[in-house]
Amino acid sequence: MNGALVIGAGPAGLMAAEVLAQAGHAVTVAEALPTPARKLLMAGKSGLNLTKSEPLADFATRFGGSAPVLRTPPGYLDTTEAEPGFGPEAVIGWARGLGIDLFTGSTGRVFPTGMKASPVLRAWLARLEGLGVQLRMRWRWTGFAGVDWRFATPEGEVLLRPDAVVLALGGASWPRLGSDAAWLPWLAARGVEVAPFRPANMGFRVDWSPAMARHFGQAVKGVALSAGDLVSRGEWVIGAQGIEGGGVYEISAALRDGAPGLVDLAPDLEAVELARRVAQLPGKLSVGNRLRRLLGDPVRAALLMEWGQPLPPEPERLAARAKALRLRHQGPMGLERAISSAGGITGASLTETLELRAMPGVFAAGEMLDWEAPTGGYLLTGCLETGRRAGLGAAAYLAAAR
């Protein structure tokens, strides 16, 4: 086939297709599932967080891993200066260009006014259709047949030999939505280095005592979580299998990598003030009632009872424990429940345009790459940015080959 082939119709793949088509190239997008952008639609059910409105220099610091996402790691290129990239303001401008009205919340997170992902996706697909992009649904890449790319399709096996390829197949999280990492051995056999996949933005398993069952499904509010250099004031949820939610996801990378987690059950009070309030509580109250009065919330009191035993009787020591309660867990939940994944194609395997060094003319984008970021708009912006970069790289490759 002449032109470019994009494999994967998630945000990274669709952005690569848009850039290639705008550059005048014929583009075909192959997607294994019956509909495009399944993970985007699922993530947008509770409100599509497009990006976060903050300076690019601050935004870029939230990305880790060896692959370049909104910054160039030291040693990756001849320069260590950050690249401008497709950051928050660019994402906002792109969405408005689709006719999507946006608003910015109090935390800086940017959403469509309707909150849903489906209007964004419909407008985007309409634009791509207008650009001549061909979408092929239920086309599953199944590896190579010599120099050809092999696909299982509703019409049978199809072999393609495109002029350039952009891979946007996702990482290994939420495999039921298509990101199953089946591509890994095919690329590894061709010399592409892939860092092992690990869960990211995930919950943690907790072996609760029976007393905690009454709190399953309840949100933990008004606390601060910390692990390593990461701090979160977001809400999270107590579940039968452990703890999950945005507040946990913000510190999950450090927790996963072994940093101890701490919970401040009264982040708006100094330890001295909390100790004074402990001392004023009637001694005749049960321990549970004293803690509920002290913390103003039965859920926070239950956490102190669960993770703080044995509770010290002295007001100063009890206050200190409530301000730095050890988060006790049994490790991260698996990739099948993780919002995203860490690991993937390493920076050493990529050029600055996200071309695979071992496979000239083949580019990669999105969660296939070795990077991770917290929720809050960073993940989607990272996928859009790498899709754009890979698309620009593939367009330049095609132009040079003419």
Q: For 372, which DSSP code?
A: B
- Return the pLDDT at 74: 41
What is the mean pLDDT of the segment spanning 183-206? 96
CB 192 within 8 A of CB 349: yes
The pTM is what?
0.90
Distances (CA, A) of 72 to 84, 121, 127, 139: 10, 30, 31, 34
Alpha-carbon distance of 367 to 12, in angstroms, equals 8
- Return the pLDDT at 61: 87
Q: Which of 236, 314, 229, 221 is nearest to 268 (CA)?
A: 221
Alpha-carbon distance of 155 to 166, in angstroms, equals 23
Please check the confidence at residue 78 and state whether its pLDDT lies above 70.
no
- Return the pLDDT at 19: 96
- Return the pLDDT at 205: 98
Low-confidence winner among 7-16, 130-139, 221-230, 273-282 (lowest mean pLDDT) = 273-282
Instruction: Give CATH for domain 4-199+336-401.
Output: 3.50.50.60
Q: Tell me the sheet residues that pair with 199.
A: 341
Q: Which of 29, 3, 31 is nearest to 16 (CA)?
A: 29
What is the mean pLDDT of the segment spanning 168-190? 91
**Domain residue ranges of the chain, discontinuous segments joined by +:** 4-199+336-401, 204-327
What is the mean pLDDT of the segment spanning 290-318? 91
- Return the pLDDT at 175: 84
Q: How many CB atoms lie within 10 A of CB 182?
A: 16
Low-confidence winner among 258-262, 325-329, 371-375 (lowest mean pLDDT) = 371-375
* Range 53-56, long-range pairs (CB < 8 A, 24+ positions): 53/88, 53/89, 53/92, 53/104, 53/108, 53/109, 53/110, 54/88, 54/108, 56/84, 56/85, 56/87, 56/88, 56/89
pLDDT digits (tens, 9 = 90+) for 111-129: 999 999 999 999 999 999 9
- Return the pLDDT at 84: 55
Q: Which of 378, 1, 35, 288 is nearest to 165 (CA)?
A: 1
Alpha-carbon distance of 303 to 71, in angstroms, equals 39
Please check the confidence at residue 162 and state whether its pLDDT lies above 50.
yes
Please check the confidence at residue 79 and state whether its pLDDT lies above 80.
no
- Return the pLDDT at 313: 87
Alpha-carbon distance of 180 to 45, in angstroms, equals 22
Cis peptide bond prior to 199, omega within 30° of 0: no
Please check the confidence at residue 333 and state whether its pLDDT lies above 80.
yes
- Return the pLDDT at 81: 38
Label residues 264-289 b or e (16+ Cβ within 10 Å = b): bbbeebebeebbeebeeeeeeeeeee
**Residue 127 in tokens:** 């634009």
Across the chain, what does the average pLDDT equal?
92
